[in-house]
């Protein structure tokens, strides 16, 4: 699947600290999702919206926050998702 490779490219660019490549691959992923006629429209819209939020965070220079909301664990400083999110890209 083309999307899986693009997702891995985004992760690699992020790990290397290259926001320009993260942006470029994210825009490519948005394009591929929008062209995916097999995925239901609701899922495509949700995924594209989430990716646009990611692009906004890249543009603002925001770093170090998870994409999904988190709540502090009672017994420590670690944070965990309040509930497991629906996977961004269901295979």
Residue 89 has pLDDT above 80, yes or no: no
- Residue 77 is assigned to a structural domain of this protein: no
User: Where does residue 46 rank: exposed (0-12), middle (13-18), buried (19+ CB within 10 A)?
Assistant: middle
User: Where does residue 28 rank: exposed (0-12), middle (13-18), buried (19+ CB within 10 A)?
Assistant: middle
- Residue 68 is assigned to a structural domain of this protein: no
**What pLDDT digit, counting tens, does each position of 2-60 carry?**
688 888 898 898 888 888 898 999 999 999 989 888 888 888 888 898 888 888 888 88
Q: Could you tell me the residue range of the domain that residue 38 belongs to?
A: 2-63
- Residue 48 is assigned to a structural domain of this protein: yes
What's residue 19's pLDDT? 86
- In angstroms, the CA 71 to CA 78 distance is 9
- Residue 45 is assigned to a structural domain of this protein: yes
Q: Are 34 and 42 in contact (CB under 8 A)?
A: no
């Amino acid at each position: 699947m083309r999307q899986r490779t693009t997702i891995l490219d985004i992760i690699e660019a992020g790990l290397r600290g290259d926001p320009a490549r993260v942006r470029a691959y994210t825009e490519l992923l948005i394009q591929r999702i929008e062209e995916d006629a097999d995925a239901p429209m609701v899922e495509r819209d949700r995924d594209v919206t989430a990716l646009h939020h990611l692009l906004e965070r890249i543009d603002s220079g925001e770093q170090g926050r998870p994409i999904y909301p988190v709540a502090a664990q009672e017994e420590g400083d670690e944070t965990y998702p309040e509930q497991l999110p629906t996977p961004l890209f269901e295979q």
